């Protein structure tokens, strides 16, 4: 895709961990019945055999899926292409459809810290709660949680031992998933909620901030965005109508990508009561986030901040 659309190259090195997701084109169903789910899991097994792709968690919802995978050979793209192409072909044949099934090739978030590996697994296994607050994730058939807690034997493609051991075994993992994350000042859940719909899902990745970016500040983002759009800094932070609303959405997204600020710090800086309220507002404005104008401004902002940061001589 053209660079002006803000798309970033994937980081798919040997040994990398990824949270992978995709949803149906036009938000249509991607799994109608048990057979659909079984077919998709079959191709996860084929990805294990052909590409050595290790699946450590999965959740298949009505119109989207989440995977937590480890790619020892650095061939996630090839594995996901195989899964997506073959599943789409089988799905269309079964249901009498043709054409594109998924919104994009896939979206991936590379995970580089143990804390976020655990948070990704919890996020994936709590996904059935989207069906309603009274849903017990353990009662949901098409996630790997039952395999983690010993209710079912694990299929050959699924690895549960590593993450289960990180929290002390099956019983403690069950409790870990049951309790909503207490890391209210950490970015994972809010960032996923915001970025899952960004137009570069097919090639982008959510980068958990690293020490090399710690010196980029929220104020730097505000100043660059104000300069690029001729929008007052106070409106970049507080939002409003038209361009100001777009600016705040772009600023929040860049804050997660470029700074070490916590979710609580970002939500406070951009005038939200909490990270949850920020995520809710962003989800409601998904049509803006999925538009070309957002992608172009996001690309210009990130490039500008990085150029300014490099010229400043800060690490």
Residues 224 and 82 both lie in one domain: no
Give the residue numbers spanning the domain of 122: 3-178
Q: What is the mean pLDDT of each run of 10 residues along the chain (315 residues)?
A: 36 87 86 95 97 97 93 95 96 91 85 83 89 83 94 89 94 89 47 40 34 64 92 90 87 78 82 82 72 84 78 48
Distance, CA of 252 to CA of 179 (rounded, Å): 27
The string of DSSP letters for 160-194 reads -HHHHHHHTSHHHHHHHHHSPP--TTSSHHHHHHH
189 is a domain residue? no
**Cβ–Cβ under 8 Å, residues 263 and 190:** yes
State residue 51 phi and psi, 5-degree precision: -120, 0
Residues 163 and 229 both lie in one domain: no
**Cβ–Cβ under 8 Å, residues 10 and 77:** yes
Tens digits of per-residue pLDDT, 102-119? 987 888 888 877 878 888
| CATH code assigned at 286 | 1.10.1750.10
Domain count, the chain: 2
Q: Give the pLDDT confidence score for residue 204 in this predicted structure.
A: 35
Residues 174 and 229 both lie in one domain: no
Q: Give the pLDDT confidence score for residue 47 in this predicted structure.
A: 97
Q: Give the pLDDT confidence score for residue 305 in this predicted structure.
A: 84
Angle of helix 243-258 relative to helix 188-195, nearest 10 degrees?
Answer: 130
Q: Give the pLDDT confidence score for residue 308 in this predicted structure.
A: 75
199 is a domain residue? no
Q: Give the pLDDT confidence score for residue 51 in this predicted structure.
A: 96
Q: Give the pLDDT confidence score for residue 98 in this predicted structure.
A: 87
Residues 97 and 239 both lie in one domain: no
The string of DSSP letters for 29-82 reads -S--SHHHHHHHHHHHHHHHHHH-PEEEEEEE-SSEEEEEEEETTS-HHHHHHH
Q: Give the pLDDT confidence score for residue 234 in this predicted structure.
A: 92
Residues 285 and 226 both lie in one domain: yes
């Amino acid at each position: 895709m053209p660079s002006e659309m803000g798309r970033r190259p994937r980081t798919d090195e040997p040994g990398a961990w990824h949270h992978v997701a995709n949803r149906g084109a036009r938000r249509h169903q991607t799994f109608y019945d048990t057979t659909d789910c079984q077919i998709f899991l079959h191709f996860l097994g084929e990805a294990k055999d052909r590409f050595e792709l290790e699946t450590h968690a999965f959740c298949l919802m009505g119109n989207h899926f989440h995977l937590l995978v480890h790619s020892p050979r650095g061939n996630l793209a090839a594995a996901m292409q195989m899964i997506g192409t073959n599943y789409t072909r089988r799905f269309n044949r079964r249901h009498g459809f043709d054409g594109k099934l998924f919104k994009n090739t896939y979206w991936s978030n590379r995970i580089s810290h143990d804390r976020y590996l655990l948070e990704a697994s919890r996020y994936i296994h709590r996904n059935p709660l989207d069906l309603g607050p009274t849903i017990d994730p353990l009662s949901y058939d098409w996630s790997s949680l039952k395999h983690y807690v010993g209710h079912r034997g694990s299929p050959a493609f699924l690895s549960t031992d590593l993450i289960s051991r990180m929290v002390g075994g099956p019983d403690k993992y069950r409790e870990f998933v049951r309790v909503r994350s207490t890391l209210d000042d950490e970015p994972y859940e809010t960032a996923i909620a915001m970025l899952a719909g960004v137009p570069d899902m097919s090639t982008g990745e959510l980068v958990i901030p690293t020490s090399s970016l710690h010196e980029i500040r929220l104020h730097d983002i505000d100043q660059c965005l104000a300069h690029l759009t001729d929008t007052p800094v106070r409106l970049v932070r507080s939002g409003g109508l038209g361009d100001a609303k777009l600016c705040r959405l772009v600023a929040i997204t860049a804050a997660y990508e470029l700074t070490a600020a916590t979710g609580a710090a970002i939500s406070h800086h951009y005038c939200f009561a909490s990270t949850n309220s920020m995520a809710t507002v962003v989800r409601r404005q998904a049509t803006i986030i999925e538009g070309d104008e957002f992608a172009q401004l996001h690309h210009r902002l990130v490039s500008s901040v990085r150029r300014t940061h490099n010229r400043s001589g800060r690490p």
